[in-house]
Amino acid sequence: MSEHTHHHHAPAADLDPVAHWEEHYGTGDRVWSGAANASLVAILGEHAPSARQGGVEGAAAEGAAQPRALDIGCGEGADAIWLARAGWRTTGVDISPTAIGRAQEAAREAGTGAEQLRLIAADLADPAVDADLGGPFDLVTASFFHSTIALPRTEILRRAAALLAPGGRLLVISHAAPPPWARGDFARHREDLLDPDAEVAALDLPDAEFAVERAELRRRAATAPDGTPSELEDGIVLIRRR
């Protein structure tokens, strides 16, 4: 999921996950800003195929040899589009068909074709979905992959790590704390948010197969809903498959 504005929705305790996220995206307007996550861009810029191969066109020309990326919980597609334009042949997956429809529209507007970016609606809580995703991948990203309803998040991230090719990386960017302006239910989710070290511990990936390259906090400027300047704290975990 990319950087975003905040929308408030009716309680979704009685909704199944697809219905919950369809309600979330069913406002009629884009939920996210359309900008790729700033931390993702900063961290992956040095690893981008286009940076190594002299531009997106050069990376795309590699064809079947082109590195592959998977963006889980891709929302309306900003991160997935950035990855595709940076030279990864990218698959974006989200539980919401409405979000995927918007991602497809955004990809068309960006001139990103289906040969470079595949977008699919699927519930990642179902392990059977993994076969449809393809792989192995050289990169798996998960930006703000959180939910206010039940989500087997750590299990999904472990399965995503298993889809990595040797040398591939898993990048998890998470809310390390609720925004300063959070109130009510959202503020009470503080205990559900893991700092980077706790994220690594929860993933519990075997040291013989995976190396932690980054586990750090990153602060970024933000604007509160009332328009005042603020600051958010993100957790960054970057893990490479040996």
Residue 12 lies inside a defined structural domain of this protein: no
- What average pLDDT does range 25-51 have in this prediction? 82
What are the residues whose beta carbons fall under 8 Å from the beta carbon of 61, sequence distance 6 or more?
Answer: none
For the stretch 129-181, pLDDT in tens is 999 999 999 999 999 998 878 889 999 999 999 999 999 999 999 988 888 88
Tell me the two tokens of residue 31: 């939920």
Q: Does residue 71 form part of some domain?
A: yes
Residue 10 included in any domain? no
Query: For residue 39, what are the domain limits?
Result: 17-241
43 is a domain residue: yes
Alpha-helical (H) ranges within 45-86 are: 49-53, 56-60, 78-85
At residue 109, what is the residue type?
E
Considering only CA atoms, which of 174, 209, 163 is closest in space to residue 68? 163
Report residue 61's pLDDT band, with 50, 70 and 90 as the boundaries: very low
Total tally of structural domains belonging to the chain: 1
CATH number at residue 121: 3.40.50.150
Of residues 46 and 199, more confidence is placed in: 199
- Asked whether residue 11 is domain-assigned, the answer is no
Average pLDDT for the chain: 85
Decide if 4 is inside a domain. no
**Which amino acid appears at position 149 of this protein?**
I
pLDDT at 3: 40
Tell me whether strands 137-143 and 68-72 are parallel, antiparallel or unpaired. parallel
Q: DSSP per residue over 85-109, as a string?
A: HTT-EEEEEES-HHHHHHHHHHHHH
Distances (CA, A) of 159 to 16, 126, 153: 22, 11, 10
Give the residue-averaged pLDDT of 68-74: 97
Assign 184 a pLDDT band (cuts: 50, 70, 90): low
What the block records as the tokens of 233 is 């704290």
How confident is residue 4, by pLDDT bands cut at 50, 70 and 90?
A: very low
Domain assignment present for 81 = yes
Distance CA 100, CA 77 (A): 7
CA–CA dist 220, 214 (Å, integer): 17
CA angle 11/121/157 to nearest 5° reads 80
Q: Is residue 123 part of a domain?
A: yes
Q: What is the pLDDT of residue 242?
A: 97
